[in-house]
């Protein structure tokens, strides 16, 4: 028998996910009347934030919201590589990655197109808030690992918020912290911070990254067929949600400073 050959059957069946959707999970979906069970349409999920997760990194942070869990580590500033070298300013390198076990369907070890796109969006969302001109010929590396995914757009927003906390923990000079939230469109209904179950019936998605103190948007991603009036309303809802997230992150940072 050839040892390199797969000895399994020619046809196979995909295994059933080990976590079945129960009644409580299905109850989170929006009703046909456009109402959300468990929380209001403009209400975000409870957050848990902490810093100092990775000891050997210059800065790190952990973010948890519902079943969504991710961690971020920051290394630098350090000498830039040749292809990242900028003489008048620093370079921000961001790498976003889903853990193989983080999604319902197993993710590969190699970075796919979605992870590459999310890495670029995170870089564009964080760069306006960092004083890169104070770091010439240097690079700051940001690595984000999703431990459990509970909403694709919400995961991207959480990654930006978590990365901002990790940059602050690393002592990187910033104009302001960056908070991000997401929203989903269900025809004429807008819901903030949707989980994976709620995203199934959406007709459009929005992600907004926001600097709360200076009241400036750093990035915005909109997908789907959405009316302009609903888009403006969704941006305002996301900005209000970002302000709520900023209140939580600021209180966490103040408590960390007092305890240090």
Distance of alpha carbon 142 from alpha carbon 127, whole angstroms? 12
pTM (two decimals): 0.86
Could you tell me the CATH number of the domain that includes residue 58?
3.30.230.70
Does residue 23 lie in a domain region? no
- In this predicted structure, what is the pLDDT of residue 197? 87
pLDDT in tens, 219-253: 999 998 888 899 999 999 999 999 999 999 999 88
Does residue 21 lie in a domain region? no
Give bridge partners of residue 191 from the DSSP assignment.
184
Range of the domain at 156: 39-255
What's the 3-state SS for 63-92? EEECCEEEEEEEEEEEECCHHHCCCCCCEE
pLDDT in tens, 155-181: 999 999 999 999 999 999 999 999 999
The band of 10, judged by pLDDT with boundaries at 50, 70 and 90, is: low
The band of 27, judged by pLDDT with boundaries at 50, 70 and 90, is: very low
Does residue 148 lie in a domain region? yes
Per-residue pLDDT at 105 exceeds 80: yes
The total domain count for the chain is: 1
- In this predicted structure, what is the pLDDT of residue 26? 44
Does residue 30 lie in a domain region? no
Does residue 249 lie in a domain region? yes
Residue ranges of E strands in the chain:
47-51, 59-65, 68-79, 91-98, 138-148, 179-186, 189-192, 204-211, 216-224
């Amino acid at each position: 028998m050839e040892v390199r050959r797969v000895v399994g059957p020619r046809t196979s069946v995909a295994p059933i996910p080990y976590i079945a959707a129960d009644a409580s999970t299905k109850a989170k979906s929006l009703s046909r009347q456009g109402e959300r069970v468990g929380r209001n349409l403009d209400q975000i999920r409870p957050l848990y934030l902490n810093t100092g997760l990775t000891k050997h990194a210059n800065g790190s942070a952990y973010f948890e919201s519902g079943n969504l869990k991710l961690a971020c580590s920051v290394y630098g500033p350090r000498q830039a590589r040749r292809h990242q070298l900028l003489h008048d300013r620093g370079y921000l390198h961001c790498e976003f990655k889903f853990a193989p076990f983080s999604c319902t369907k197993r993710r590969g070890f190699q970075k796919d197109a979605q992870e590459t796109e999310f890495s670029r969006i995170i870089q564009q969302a964080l760069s306006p808030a960092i004083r890169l001109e104070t770091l010439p010929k240097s690079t700051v590396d940001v690595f984000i690992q999703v431990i459990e995914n509970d909403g694709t757009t919400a995961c991207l927003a959480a990654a930006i918020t978590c990365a901002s906390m990790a940059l602050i923990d690393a002592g990187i000079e910033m104009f302001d912290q960056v908070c991000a939230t997401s929203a989903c469109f269900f025809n004429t209904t807008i819901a903030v911070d949707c989980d994976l179950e709620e995203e199934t019936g959406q007709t459009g998605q929005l992600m907004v990254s926001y600097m709360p103190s200076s009241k400036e948007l750093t990035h915005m991603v909109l997908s789907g067929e959405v009316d302009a009036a609903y888009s403006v309303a969704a941006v305002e809802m996301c900005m209000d949600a970002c302000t709520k997230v900023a209140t939580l992150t600021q209180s966490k940072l103040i408590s960390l400073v007092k305890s240090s």
